[in-house]
Amino acid sequence: MLNRTLPGLAALAVVASLSACEKGPDIVPAKFTARPSASDIAEVYPAFARMARIPGKVKMRCEYSISGTLQRCRQIAVAPEGLNFEAGVPRLLSKYTVSPQTYDGRPAPAPITFVISFTPPSAPAPYA
């Protein structure tokens, strides 16, 4: 009987000690504190795509400094391809600032992935 209870008590002690452990590190993800304005994006909108009212997206992956400036950015994807949506992106990147990820309250920068969306202007009102 004692041989059956000892393993059960040992398992109970292990579970009790695990529940007393901390929940783990407190990680707060990075977030943007500044982004380009709609007029900033409109300035770099490809001319043909704007005239044809074609929307586009450019997916980027960047690292950032402790001060929050983007660095070592690379393009991951662009849609639709061939319309030059990616051409104006370097001018927009300086408009972004990031509040760094924190790990237990200390800055712990990690790469950040985001999408820059190009939305065409609305169609003009019909002539009355």
Helices (H), 1-128: 2-19, 38-44, 47-51, 89-93
pLDDT of the residue at 23: 75
- By percentage, how much of the chain surpasses pLDDT 90? 62
Which single residue is written with the structure tokens 């051409």? Answer: 87
Domain spanning 25-118: which superfamily? Answer: TonB (3.30.2420.10)
Q: Would you give the DSSP letter of residue 7? A: H
Listed by start position, the domains of the chain span: 25-118
**Helices H, strands E: what count in the chain?**
4, 8
pTM summary value: 0.73
Give whole-number Cα distances, 44 to 38, 64, 85, in Å. 10, 23, 8
For residue range 111-123, list pLDDT tens digits in order: 999 999 999 988 7
d(Cα 120, Cα 128) in Å, to the nearest integer?
Answer: 23
For residue range 80-93, list pLDDT tens digits in order: 999 999 999 999 99
pLDDT of the residue at 4: 59
Q: What's the whole-number mean pLDDT along residues 57-75? A: 95
